Amino acid sequence: MGYPMMIAVDVGGLHRIAEQPRGLVITLVVNWPIKPFNTALLGVFFKGVFAAWISPADAEGYIARLILLGATPYTAMLLGVSDIPVPWATLILSVLL
């Protein structure tokens, strides 16, 4: 899934990344400290919206899946992980690390 994007990378131009680091900085900030929390909040929101239709155990699994998808989109889709509870302390620690 990520292969088409990776073949378009100009490897020879990577040494010039320090000349205009804004794009890299924005990407790192959005993908690590913001996106996992954003997806966790979306999971909590939709857990409340659809609480009448899903069991509490399934709802927790959906939140964990959203967090995994937000933190590592390609890895989460390939792993097929479904029964992993992700506590808030673990989420914060993983973002800090």
| More confident call, 4 vs 8 | 8
pLDDT higher than threshold 70 for residue 37: yes
Least confident stretch, 14-23, 38-47, 70-79: 70-79
CA 11 to chain centre: 25
pLDDT digits (tens, 9 = 90+) for 20-31: 889 888 888 887
pLDDT higher than threshold 60 for residue 69: yes
Prediction pTM value: 0.55
Encoded amino acid at 80, one letter:
G
Encoded amino acid at 86, one letter:
V
Distance CA 66, CA 44 (A): 10
pLDDT higher than threshold 80 for residue 82: no
Interaxial angle between packed helices 88-96 and 35-49, expressed in degrees from 0 to 180 and rounded to the nearest 10: 160
Distance CA 54, CA 46 (A): 11
